[in-house]
Amino acid sequence: MKPTRQLECVELMISANTITINYAEALLVATPSSMLCSSHLANTDQRSANVPLVAKALPD
């Protein structure tokens, strides 16, 4: 995901008080292709590989 989408997803997770891998993966799958990095557009099977990027943005 592009950085702006990552932040948007983190804000959604925090506001929903649902910070789980399943929710992060659902947000990733629901992300429009225009908000994905070009390297991940070709291989949609590995979309969940971006989940750690979202998790890094979460506060400690």
Please, which residues have CB within 8 angstroms of residue 9's CB and are 6 or more apart in sequence?
1, 24, 27, 28, 31, 54
Domain residue extents for the chain: 3-56
Residue 19 burial (C-beta neighbours within 10 Å; 0-12, 13-18, 19+)? middle
pTM, two decimal places: 0.61
* pLDDT, tens only, 43-52: 555 555 555 6
Integer Cα distance of 29 and 42 in angstroms? 14
In the chain, the percentage of residues whose pLDDT exceeds 90 is 48
